[in-house]
Amino acid sequence: MNGPDQLHAPILCSDCGIYQLCLPTGIGQADIELLDKIVKNRRIFKRGEYLYRLGHPFHSVYALRSGSVKTYVLMDDGRVQITGFHIAGELLGLNAVNTRVYSCEARALETTSVCEIPFDRLEELGQQVPSLQYQMLRVMSQEIAYNQELMLLLGKKNADERLATYLIGLSSRFAKRSYSSTEFNLSMSRSDIGNYLGMAEETVCRVLARFEQEGLISMQRRLVRLKDIEKLTAVAQGGGKAESPSPAVGKRPQSPVSSRNKQVG
């Protein structure tokens, strides 16, 4: 995690707020007005409704104004991997540019307000406003970096590290939107969290229960309070247990960092 929006705190543009597409200095007022004309298309999605579905033709991108959305990919037999959890200020759907067909589904986790932006309009405008083009590249670049972190989590972290990473990541994202970074509402169910972090729902419960018992957090249903962010951060990076004598050995999780993993190209 560490997640999206690494460097640039998304800035509201005018009334609708295209957030990630606008930079403080990147786009002028006149351009913003142009942009506003395009994005007037506001929509509300209720919990469980789809912004777009797998295989549907690509026509628009979506800027989230409020609420939250999960995106996920599917296997034939119904297995689900949630690939993203998106909150206000983020931009969805650009990943369908290549094939012109959505490669994943996006579904509202709660009542969610979005701006729907027709991509061809956005493209036209991009040719008049170079910095807009650049912003699109940035948004996608950011998503790639974000996905890389998730892959690291899925491939190399154990259950404790995954959940700690998840909580810390949420915390810092909320902080950037000026929400509380220590107390917030997970809009995802335990099952969703499991499908996001690559673990069973039950394991999510158990680990959270242990975190609470160890004084790292407190929870009631989907409301979390982070009580020891420092220790949580340590857990997320694999320094969770062992303040043990042996500093290098006993890292515990998969990937032993043994002499073999020297990675020689």
Partner DNA sequence: CGACCTGTTGAGCAGCCTCAACATAAGTGG
Partner DNA sequence: CCACTTATGTTGAGGCTGCTCAACAGGTCG
Whichever of 168 and 208 has its CB closer to DNA, that residue is: 208
CA dist 41 and 33 (Å) reads 14
Stretch that binds a second copy, among 6-14, 24-32, 175-183, 209-217 (CB under 8 A): 6-14
Examine residue 99 and tell whether it contacts DNA (CB under 7 A). Answer: no
Examine residue 32 and tell whether it contacts DNA (CB under 7 A). Answer: no
Residue 9 binding: pick among DNA, a second copy, none (C-beta 5-8 Å cut-off by kind): none
Q: 81, 103, 147, 203: which one contacts DNA (CB under 7 A)?
A: 203
C-alpha to C-alpha distances, 265 to 70, 174, 256, 260, nearest whole angstrom: 36, 39, 18, 13
Examine residue 168 and tell whether it contacts DNA (CB under 7 A). Answer: no
Binding mask 182-221 for a second copy (x = CB under 8 A): -------x-xx--x-xx-xx--------------------
Residue 142 binding: pick among a second copy, DNA, none (C-beta 5-8 Å cut-off by kind): a second copy
Question: Closest separation between CB of residue 143 and DNA, Å?
Answer: 25
| Tokens linked to 85 | 């959890």
Examine residue 81 and tell whether it contacts a second copy (CB under 8 A). Answer: yes
Question: Closest separation between CB of residue 246 and a second copy, Å?
Answer: 13
Specify the pairing of strand 68-74 against strand 80-87.
antiparallel
Examine residue 128 and tell whether it contacts a second copy (CB under 8 A). Answer: no
Distance of CA 196 to the CA centre of its chain: 10
**Which positions from 146 through 165 interact with a second copy, judged by CB under 8 A?**
147-152, 154-156
| Tokens linked to 181 | 């970074």
| Tokens linked to 207 | 């680990």
Question: Closest separation between CB of residue 223 and DNA, Å?
Answer: 10
Q: Please give the size of the binding site for DNA, defined by CB under 7 A.
A: 30
Examine residue 137 and tell whether it contacts a second copy (CB under 8 A). Answer: yes
